[in-house]
Amino acid sequence: MSMEMDMSLGCNSSGVPLLSCRNLRVSFGVTEALRGVDVDIYPGEVLAVMGPSGSGKSTLLHALAGVVKLDTGTVTYNGSDVTALSEAERSALRLSAFGFVFQFGQLLPDLSAVDNVSLPLLLAGIPRRRALQQAKSWLDRLGLAGFGDKLPGEMSGGQAQRVAIARALVNAPKILFADEPTGSLDSLAAENVMLTLTDLARATGTTVVIITHDPRTAAHADREIIVRDGLVTSGSVAFSQASDVPQ
Ligand SMILES: Nc1ncnc2c1ncn2[C@@H]1O[C@H](COP(=O)(O)OP(=O)(O)OP(=O)(O)O)[C@@H](O)[C@H]1O
């Protein structure tokens, strides 16, 4: 199979995408951030979104996650048209199916690591004792056993990002959206965070959409797309079928 392919096909044209968009257009005033984007994202794949600063990567991620108003276009999740949902329904979908990690983990600074990680579970109505147990076990899986009582300010950048990843994964999202999750880290910490993130995603079958400027970060992905000037201009495949992703 050719390493270069049309992005509307994605990496597994015979499979059913988990998340797709068609003809996405988003503008901010006179700035056209997305100018007609088609992307298919397949279950279990780790997709890197690359491209120059200001090209529309974050806007694409926000559009796929249903947090930005579209001028035109559709986003389909699991066969359902997300653009047809009410804001309350979209919000419920985000809470139940999507996880988010940002460049600076955006942990709540006054809450301990374990309290930060348990937050999504508490918001979902899980009793506190069970939420804390699950949060602790996710911190363990991220190599942070013993760090549960630390405040974000008492941890290194890499440790704090691991807490942010634990918080994003604790309610078992189907898709993890990550916007430059290693952008604030040195290269060793970035490498470790990416290894942990992709190992966990593959072990749990979580689909990951990750924005990065760093080719070393993108090298951990199964596939990458390039956003340029509001358009997806190219993509490459690192493996032949999304179903090759170890579950
Ligand atoms: N809330 C906003 N209001 C106005 N313009 C915006 C807004 N968000 C994004 N833009 C503009 O839309 C375009 C795309 O921005 P976006 O943040 O998606 O790019 P990006 O590729 O993620 O950039 P970076 O790599 O620097 O984070 C840019 O011209 C940006 O200035």
Q: Is the CB of 226 under 6 A from ligand 1?
A: no
Cα 64 to averaged position of ligand 1 atoms, centre (Å): 15
Task: For tokens 């509307």, name the residue.
Answer: 8
Nearest CA to ligand 1 atom 5: 28
Quote the percentage of the chain above a pLDDT of 70.
89
Q: What is the pLDDT of residues 149-182, one digit of tens each?
A: 999 999 998 899 889 999 999 989 999 999 988 8
Q: Is the CB of 56 under 6 A from ligand 1?
A: yes
∠ Cα 190 202 13 (to 5°): 110
Cα 98 to averaged position of ligand 1 atoms, centre (Å): 22
Domain ranges of the chain: 19-244
Q: Is the CB of 69 under 6 A from ligand 1?
A: no
Nearest CA to ligand 1 atom 20: 54
Domain 19-244 maps to which CATH number in 3.30.930.10, 3.90.580.10, 3.50.50.60, 3.40.50.300?
A: 3.40.50.300
Cα 148 to averaged position of ligand 1 atoms, centre (Å): 35
Calculate mean pLDDT across residues 219-244: 74
- Count of C-beta atoms within a 10 Å radius of residue 116: 26
So what's the pLDDT on residue 192? Answer: 84
Residue type, 232: V
So what's the pLDDT on residue 95? Answer: 84
DSSP 3-state of 95: helix
Calculate mean pLDDT across residues 188-203: 87
Nearest CA to ligand 1 atom 25: 53
Q: Which of 30-44, 72-86, 174-188, 232-246 has the lowest mean pLDDT?
A: 232-246
Q: Which of 6-15, 116-125, 226-235 has the lowest mean pLDDT?
A: 6-15
Q: What is the pLDDT of residues 2-43, one digit of tens each?
A: 333 333 334 444 489 999 999 999 999 999 999 999 999 999
Cα 28 to averaged position of ligand 1 atoms, centre (Å): 9
Q: ipTM of this model?
A: 0.97
Q: Could you tell me how far CA 96 lies from the centroid of its own chain?
A: 14
Alpha helices in the chain (DSSP H): 57-64, 87-97, 113-123, 128-141, 157-169, 187-204, 215-218
Calculate mean pLDDT across residues 51-70: 94
Q: Is the CB of 59 under 6 A from ligand 1?
A: yes
Q: Is 229 exposed, middle or buried (0-12, 13-18, 19+ CB in 10 A)?
A: middle
Cα–Cα distance between 27 and 62 in angstroms, integer? 13
Calculate mean pLDDT across residues 60-65: 95
Given a contact cutoff of 8 angstroms between Cβ atoms, the answer to whether 216 and 182 are in contact is no
Residue 148 has which token pair?
């549960």
Q: Which of 148-157, 178-187, 203-212, 215-224 has the lowest mean pLDDT?
A: 178-187
